[in-house]
Amino acid sequence: MRPLKYSINITLDGCADHNAIVPYEELHRHSMNVIAEADALIFGRVIYRMMEGAWRNPSPQMPDWTLPFAKTISAAKKYVVSGTLTDKDVDWNAELVHGDLETFVRKLKQQPGGSLYTGGLTLPRALAAMDLIDDYEFTVHPRIAGHGPTLFAGLPAGLDLELVERFEFATGAVVLRYKPRR
């Protein structure tokens, strides 16, 4: 079965707002590798639009070290979960998910191939509630944002996780990978 991996950047106080974290080359390189390992990305509308806006046609003012990430995410197959977008709204190597989310993801996980990846807040909360995420990666940045949003608010039940990997960036950010205890 293909594993579904979730990765997100957060501050020490749990803020998952991408504007609360200052990007840097080592983080982009790591994120690029995470996405490159996946056969497909599963995004909700908000993350799809945010990523498309930033990376489909990167601004010339972006540092050169962001370009490999832009190329990697642009080339990746994407599935977009949305009740408001139409098929013609998703054309960045993407396909709109139709029908029941849980059924779709379970079928996708049964297909041959490598891992799947998801990011963001709302969609991963729904996938976690359905016990569909197989790998959780949190990059915790040494910063206190003082505001939200936070992860998994409203999750119907807690999740027990087991630490399987830990490493630190030169900035002091710590990457923590967990697997669900099932």
* 3-state SS string for the chain: CCCEEEEEEEECCCECCHHHCCCCHHHHHHHHHHHHHEEEEEEEHHHHHHHHHHHCCCCCCCCHHHHHHHHHHHHCEEEEECCCCCHHHCCCCEEECCCCHHHHHHHHHHCCCCEEEECCCHHHHHHHHCCCCCEEEEEEECCCCCCCCECCCCCCCCCCEEEEEEEECCCCCEEEEEEECC
Q: What is the CATH number of the domain that holds 32?
A: 3.40.430.10
pLDDT digits (tens, 9 = 90+) for 40-64: 999 999 999 999 999 999 888 999 9
Specify the number of domains making up the chain: 1
Quote the domain boundaries for residue 153: 4-180
In terms of pTM, does the model score above 0.85? yes
Give residue 120's pLDDT band: very low, low, confident or very high (50, 70, 90).
very high
